[in-house]
Structure 1
């Protein structure tokens, strides 16, 4: 059984998540978090020293849940292309749709926050794992980590230019198809 401090921390993170999603980092206050957590501000400050640490815990919890969702979702998919498409849609398209519903949720994807950067790195590592074996069997002569980084930040760019969720999913599908086709080539494609 978890100790009371761990339970309180989890409850605060669960209560603060929808507040950060709705109002973003800048507009959310510790008073807001205390209120939705049904705690006094002094009790909240016993658990989290500041708003940044609550935000970090929320982002880390969301990233962990997303990584779990992606790993479970790809476990039953047969092809490399299906696994990569699922992972990219789960990360980028679902995040895009969240921001469309709640524009201030954009903070959850702001690389100015260390916890968000760590989340992108976790996703990049997951993509590298997904592409590792197909890349080794292909004519692509590049490290999986380098390819994964390219994919992850292409997704970020797609979110910036997409007209809507359907357009973003189409951009992702095209990119995944191109990557998959590259992995089926026999001519060597080298990294520079």
Structure 2
């Protein structure tokens, strides 16, 4: 049971209702995570904007979803692990890569490099070593992609922590954290 109740659009403030409508337009539905964050229209607007902007970035789609899976796994967020596994499938990430993304691996060198950097950012709280950064660059990440990896980490840490705190009810096919470990 969720520790923060889902905000009902019928009783939402005008600002919250506006953000819920933006979410529904973008996703075709309002996932439970968005109905949870909607209690704060400011946080919801930030999250909607972050998803929209990163969706148009260099690491959008397949790579971004694999980064999200890796970060969700390391942060123990079953909601985000489940959501991004489902969304990754919609982006045609293979089943093998969806599974290996939990551990920061992929048969796509760009995805592997982005996940490796993302996991290092999470582990070191952004204090990535010169050698880890050089490794990411050698693997093909330029400065723009590196900044975008940091942005993906920031967004996913926010959503992971929110869902872990709220214990948001999972409204995607559930991926067990135990099978991800």
- Does the pair score TM above 0.5? no
Larger Rg: 1
| Structure 1 or 2: more helix by fraction | 1
Higher relative contact order (CA 8 A, sep 6+): 2
Normalised by the length of structure 1, the TM-score is: 0.28
Q: TM-score, normalised by structure 2?
A: 0.29
